[in-house]
């Protein structure tokens, strides 16, 4: 991973994501792009004139100053020593502007806060995060506001024993190896024990042919309530990051779409959530 894109709405709930983004970019020696997307006032954007052009330039300059001040305040002077590029863009919907910037900067990862600071910003960092997962050209990492970065030592990935999972795990290992992360692969099943264990053995064999990583742990959990079972497992393991794959249609995690899991993980979970989309994995 060479480039991270962090998007902020200046809310306090996006501060933890800034700390996470800066620390992770340092550990992986990656470039960090800090982005703020804003909307020009209707009265300003509706008038095509020389005065409008000057005001538009001033609006971008003001937002850039605010972005620099935001990073300087919460990174406590560290911003000067980091490899940061500051970007201001205008337009809506926000997720489309973020995706545009991610493509322009060739971002390997988009990092956002899991929630916004108020009802308006909740829409920005709530629905926008969900929309990003569908449209982003790279994985999206959502950081809860109460998370502190203490390094990445342990990661959980929820698998359905599909071929797409193997490609996703390959991506995760690219992140895991440089940091020597323990990768815990868990499958939540409502099937009988023998069938699930047979599936697990098949998956292990498939994975061994594709990836080389010593720090992989395999676990099975049983339960009809997938979210509760998965959440209980996550709290047992206490990872620094949870990863999931956006799947098209229903899967072995029956009757529970990834979007449902993401929404509940954001509202009820207290772990960073890394989301991959199947369309990017299979390209």
pLDDT at 259: 52
Quick one: pLDDT at residue 209? 84
Q: What is the pLDDT of residue 271?
A: 85
- Which three-class secondary structure string do you get for the chain? CCEEEEECCCCHHHHHHHHHHHHHHHHCCCEEEEEEEECCCHHHHCCCCHHHHHHHHHHHHHHHHHHHHHHHHHHCCHHHHCCEEEEEEECCCHHHHHHHHHHHCCCCEEEEECCCCCHHHHHHHHHHHHHHHHHCCCCEEEECCCCCCCCCCEEEEECCCCHHHHHHHHHHHHHHHHHCCEEEEEEEECCCHHHHHHHHHHHHHHHHHHCCCCCEEEEEEECCCHHHHHHHHHHHHCCCEEEEEECCCCCCCCCCCHHHHHHHHHHHCCCCEEEEEHHHHCC
**Is 90 exceeded by the pLDDT of residue 32?**
yes
Comparing 157-166, 244-253, 273-282, the range with the smallest average pLDDT is 244-253
Q: Does residue 113 have a cis bond before it (omega within 30 degrees)?
A: no
Superfamily of domain 3-143: HUPs (3.40.50.620)
| Mean pLDDT (whole number) for 11-33 | 92
In the prediction, which pLDDT does 269 show?
Answer: 57
CATH number of 154-281: 3.40.50.620
- The mean-pLDDT minimum among 72-81, 104-113, 164-173, 214-223 falls in 72-81
What span, in angstroms and rounded, lies between the C-alpha atoms of 142 and 171?
17
Banded pLDDT at 22 (limits 50, 70, 90): very high
Q: What is the mean pLDDT of residues 116-136?
A: 61
pLDDT higher than 70, residue 117: no
Per-residue confidence (pLDDT) for residue 53, from 0 to 100: 73
> With 60 as the cut, is the pLDDT of residue 74 above it?
yes
* Residue 75 pLDDT exceeds 50: yes
Structure tokens at 267: 């509202």
**Token match 């959990």: residue?**
221
- Please write the tens of the pLDDT for every residue from 222-265: 988 888 888 899 999 999 999 988 766 444 344 444 455 555 65
In this predicted structure, what is the pLDDT of residue 151?
A: 85
* pLDDT given for residue 140 in this prediction: 92
**pLDDT tops 80 at residue 54:** no
Res 77 pLDDT > 90: no
Domain(s) of CATH 3.40.50.620: residues in the chain: 3-143, 154-281
Cβ 29 vs Cβ 1: under 8 Å: no
**Whole-number mean pLDDT of the chain?**
82
The whole-number pLDDT of residue 256 equals: 44
Among the listed residues 116, 98, 113, 110, the one whose alpha carbon sits nearest the alpha carbon of residue 143: 113
Widest distance between CA atoms in the chain: 73
pLDDT tops 60 at residue 125: no
Percentage of the chain with pLDDT > 70? 81
Compare 68 and 192 and report the one with higher pLDDT: 68
Q: What is the per-residue pLDDT for 262?
A: 53
């Amino acid at each position: 991973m060479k480039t991270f894109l962090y998007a902020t709405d200046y809310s306090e709930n996006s501060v933890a994501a800034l700390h996470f983004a800066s620390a992770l970019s340092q550990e992986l020696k990656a470039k960090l792009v800090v982005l703020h997307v804003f909307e020009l006032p209707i009265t300003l954007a509706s008038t095509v004139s020389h005065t409008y052009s000057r005001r538009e330039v001033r609006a971008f300059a003001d937002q850039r100053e605010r972005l620099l001040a935001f990073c300087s305040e919460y990174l406590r002077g560290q911003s000067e020593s980091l490899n940061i590029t500051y970007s201001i863009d205008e337009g809506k919907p926000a997720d489309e502007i973020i995706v545009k910037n991610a493509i322009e900067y060739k971002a390997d990862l988009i990092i956002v806060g899991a929630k916004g600071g108020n009802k308006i910003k909740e829409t920005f960092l709530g629905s926008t995060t969900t929309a990003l997962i569908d449209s982003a050209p790279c994985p999206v990492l959502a950081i809860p506001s109460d998370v502190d970065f203490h390094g990445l030592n342990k990661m959980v990935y929820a698998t359905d024993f599909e071929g797409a999972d193997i490609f996703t795990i390959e991506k995760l290992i690219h992140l895991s190896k440089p940091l020597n992360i323990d990768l815990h692969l868990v499958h939540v099943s409502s099937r009988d024990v023998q069938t699930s264990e047979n599936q697990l053995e098949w998956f292990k064999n498939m994975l061994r042919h594709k990836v080389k990583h010593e720090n992989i742990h395999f676990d099975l959990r049983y339960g009809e309530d997938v979210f509760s079972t998965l959440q209980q497992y996550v709290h047992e393991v206490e990872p620094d990051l949870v990863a999931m794959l956006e799947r098209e249609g229903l899967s072995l995690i029956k009757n529970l779409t990834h979007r449902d899991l993401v929404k509940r993980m954001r509202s009820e979970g207290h772990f960073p959530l890394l989301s991959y989309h199947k369309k990017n994995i299979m390209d």
